[in-house]
Homo-oligomer: A and B are copies of this chain.
Amino acid sequence: MLSKARIKWIKSLEVRKYRLQHHAFVAEGPKLVGELLPYYAPLYVVATREWLVENQHLLAAVGEVDEVSHEELKRASLLRTPQSVLAVMPIPASDLQLAALSSELVLALDGVQDPGNLGTILRIADWFGIRHVLCSSAKASASGATEGTADVYNPKCVQSCMGALARVEVHYCNLPEVLKEAQMPVYGTFLDGKDIYGEALSSNGIIVMGNEGNGISAEVERQVGRRLYVPNFPKGSLTTESLNVAVATGIVCAEFRRRS
C-alpha cells in the first residue's frame, strides 16, 4: 500500500529544490535500480511483488520497502510507463580531493544544460574509466548569474545515465576556483584550439567541456592551459558549426584513452 505522503514525497523529487532539501533522487526500472542498488543504500523502494521476490538479496540495505500492484506503481512513478520498481536513493555527499586525483583523467562540465547530454556524458565517463566528473555550480558573478551545469539527479538525467551513477562520482563545485588550484594539465575544446591529433596529450589531466550554445565561459577559459579542437573534414570546410557537446566529449575522451 502506497500512502499519499509517499507519493507526494516521490513527486516532489522531480524538483531540484526538493532533491536538495531531502538529499534524495529517484531511479526507476529493474535494470537501473539493479545496477545502482549495490552502490547506494536506498531510503525507500516501492516495487511489484515479482520484483521484490526476485531481488530480495539486494534489499538488505534498503530503509523501507512497499509492495504495490502495477497500477499503484503508476501513481508514484515519474515515468510514462513505470517498470516494476522505483527507488529513492540518497544523493552522495561530494568529497572532492583533487590532489588525490592528480594521476587521473577527470572531466569538467562548464554549464552543460541538457539533462540528456549530461546523462550521455556520464556514460562516456564510465565507458572510458573516468571516475570523477566536476560540474559547474549555478552562481551569481560580476558578469551576471550563470546557470551552472544541469542537475545529474534530475530524473530524466538519472534514467539516461543507465547505471553510470554507480561508478562515476559527480562533484558540483565552483569550477573556476577548483581549476585554479588544480595541480594537473587543464584541457578544453575551442573552435580556435589546436588540432587534437597534432597535440601531445598527457595521461592525466582535466578535460573541460562547455555549454551547448556558448561553449566554455570566459571565467573558466582563463584556467584552461591547453586549447584543443576536433578538426572537421575536409579541414576548415563549411560544415555544421559545432558538434553536439556529448559527441565532442566522446571523441576527445576516446583520443586521450587511445594514446594511454
A interface residues (Cβ-Cβ under 8 A, vs B): 116, 120, 123-124, 126-129, 162-164, 167, 197, 230-234, 237-241, 243-244, 246-251, 254-255, 257-258, 260
Known: A116-B116, A233-B257, A254-B254. A240 touches B127 (CB 8 A): yes
How many angstroms from the CA of A129 to the CA of B238 in the assembled complex? 9
A158 CB to nearest B CB, Å: 14
Known: A124-B247, A250-B243, A251-B251. A129 touches B164 (CB 8 A): no
Q: Given the complex, which residues of B lie within 8 Å of A128, measured CB to CB?
A: 232-233, 239
Q: Given the complex, which residues of B lie within 8 Å of A124, measured CB to CB?
A: 243-244, 247
Q: Are A239 and B167 in contact (CB under 8 A)?
A: yes
- Other-chain residue from B163, B238, B244 in contact with A120 (beta carbon distance below 8 A): B244
Q: Given the complex, which residues of B lie within 8 Å of A241, measured CB to CB?
A: 162-163
Interface CB pairs A-B, < 8 A, 15: A120-B244, A123-B243, A127-B233, A129-B237, A129-B239, A163-B240, A197-B258, A243-B250, A244-B246, A244-B250, A247-B249, A250-B250, A251-B251, A251-B254, A254-B255
How many angstroms from the CA of A254 to the CA of B249 in the assembled complex? 12
How many angstroms from the CA of A92 to the CA of B246 in the assembled complex? 30
